[in-house]
Amino acid sequence: MNDKAIWGLIKAEEARQRDGLELIPSENYVSKDVLSAMGSVFTNKYSEGYPSFVGLDADDAEIAEKIMPSLRYYGGQENTNRVERLAIGRACRLFKADHANVQPHSGAQANNAVYFAWCEVGDTILGLDLGHGGHLTHGAPVTQSAKVYNFVRYKTTKNGDLDYDEIECLAKKHRPKIILVGFSAYPKVPDFAKVAKIGEKYGSLLMADMAHVAGLIAGGVHPNPFDFGFHVMTTTTHKTLRGPRGGLILSRGKVGNPLKKPEKTLENIPTLIDRAVFPGTQGGPLVHVIAAKAVAFREALQPEFKQYAKQIVKNAARLAEELKARGFQLVFGGTENHLILVDMVKSFGIDGKQFEAALDKIGLNLNANAIPNDTLPPFRPSGVRLGTPAITTRGLKEKDMVEIAEWMKLAFENREDDEKLEKLRLAVQAFSRRFPLPSDN
């Protein structure tokens, strides 16, 4: 690369990733194949619209043929069409969906497109409160969508369930167009059947934002919302799913021609979504990223990915146990997925930011995070959030969780002793270097 400045930074970032352990639960390490697809010449191509199904690869024909005819606004699409069709077919197979839109540039874009597909300005959407584990895009007042739609938020109960009584109450009162189940900082498995029942009763679209747990669903260790009657599922592709940064919308329904405006019915959801992504909320798709998504979906369809997903959950359970044994107080007492929330104030009387800073110094990355009913402000919250998707990709197993919990405890005890922290950093570095990045191979 001729740009020495940028090349130097890429190399420095590689070293940072290799020499530390990534505990941020929304991050992961992609394969070399995913990286190659992302760095390909598909970035040069404009392909607004959707693919045709001429010349389809046989194994995806059945799913893809149901989807739509050729609809691109530029020529030269013989390869982009095949790429997008492969991505769509694989995504549908992975999540048992009738339709996939693989074009959203990010998870936020995917959510906005679904809101736009189904709601008019001012319509009500019911979602999980940000402070209780919901995502910014589920109606936080600082977002654009919160200006357009009327978001009403439900919370979690003391024992960590979604507050299903509150959901029912709010649904009855507001008759929301959408009931949204999804989270970025929630360590339990929601009861999709309960929410589906409420949604059916009040005529709401059932939407699941599975950005954090999509890889667990694909790997069969987390329930799939479609099995409970959900209509739409959005996700990012870069978290547990281990693909490139991007978004994905899956749905059940009849796949139609996106050039014809369909009636707003549940059956037409796939077509409404296609129109909402393009031209509704985005321009040209990122075909290089779609190619990388297709590669990641294929990887997630392999038997090894099931093992990976299982190991993420096993590692998280063990890490939770080891942390508890060392005095860390976990929100809701533990974890059922890949993610752990620690109440640092209750554990050791320091806030999440202080602990995040101490761990940064030794090469363990996690993030400060609000806990339910937090009394501290968002920029200095009471908790930290951590998880096992990335370290499981590196190849860490249950026994390695002992080491991580011990380092976390030592970092807390020595948080004001820079010399001790430096020694810990070297220990973490030596340990981490035993586990190469997937892109090193």
Residues that bind ligand PLP (CB under 6 A): 26, 106-108, 111, 135, 137, 182-184, 209, 211-212, 236, 247
**Does 156 participate in catalysis according to the annotation?**
no
**Shortest spacing between CB 116 and ligand PLP, in angstroms:** 15
**Does 46 participate in catalysis according to the annotation?**
yes
Single out the catalytic residue among 19, 48, 163, 267: 48
Single out the catalytic residue among 143, 236, 240, 281: 236
Q: Which amino acid is at 172?
A: K
Which CB, 135 or 288, lies closer to ligand PLP? Answer: 135
**Residue 354: which residues within 8 A CB-CB, separation 6 or more?**
344, 415
Single out the catalytic residue among 85, 239, 275, 394: 239
Single out the catalytic residue among 22, 84, 129, 209: 209
**Shortest spacing between CB 323 and ligand PLP, in angstroms:** 22
Single out the catalytic residue among 18, 45, 46, 423: 46
**Does 413 participate in catalysis according to the annotation?**
no
Which CB, 63 or 205, lies closer to ligand PLP? Answer: 205
**Shortest spacing between CB 127 and ligand PLP, in angstroms:** 10
Tell me which residue has its CB nearest to ligand PLP.
107
Determine phi and psi for 239, rounding to 5 degrees. Answer: -95, -120
**Shortest spacing between CB 182 and ligand PLP, in angstroms:** 5
Which CB, 234 or 271, lies closer to ligand PLP? Answer: 234
**Shortest spacing between CB 247 and ligand PLP, in angstroms:** 6
**Shortest spacing between CB 136 and ligand PLP, in angstroms:** 8
**Does 48 participate in catalysis according to the annotation?**
yes
**Does 245 participate in catalysis according to the annotation?**
yes
**Residue 112: which residues within 8 A CB-CB, separation 6 or more?**
137, 144, 145, 281
Which CB, 205 or 358, lies closer to ligand PLP? Answer: 205
Q: Which amino acid is at 378?
A: P
Which CB, 370 or 428, lies closer to ligand PLP? Answer: 370
* SS3 per residue for the chain: CCCHHHHHHHHHHHHHHHHCEECCCCCCCCCHHHHHHHCCHHHHCCCCEECCCCCCCHHHHHHHHCCCCCEECCCCCHHHHHHHHHHHHHHHHHHCCCEEECCCCCHHHHHHHHHHHHCCCCCEEEEECHHHCCCHHHCCCCCHHHHHCEEEEECECCCCCECHHHHHHHHHHHCCCEEEEECCCCCCCCCHHHHHHHHHHHCCEEEEECCCCHHHHHCCCCCCHHHHCCCEEEEECCCCCCCCCCEEEEECCCCCCCCCCCCCCHHHHHHHHHHHHHHHHCCCCCHHHHHHHHHHHHHHHCHHHHHHHHHHHHHHHHHHHHHHHCCCCEHHHCCCCCEEEEEHHHHHCCCHHHHHHHHHHHCEECEEECCCCCCCCCCCCCEEEEECHHHHHHCCCHHHHHHHHHHHHHHHHCCCCHHHHHHHHHHHHHHHCCCCCHHHC
Which CB, 137 or 367, lies closer to ligand PLP? Answer: 137
**Shortest spacing between CB 296 and ligand PLP, in angstroms:** 14
Single out the catalytic residue among 66, 155, 197, 245: 245
Which CB, 219 or 256, lies closer to ligand PLP? Answer: 219
Catalytic site positions: 46, 48, 209, 236, 239, 245
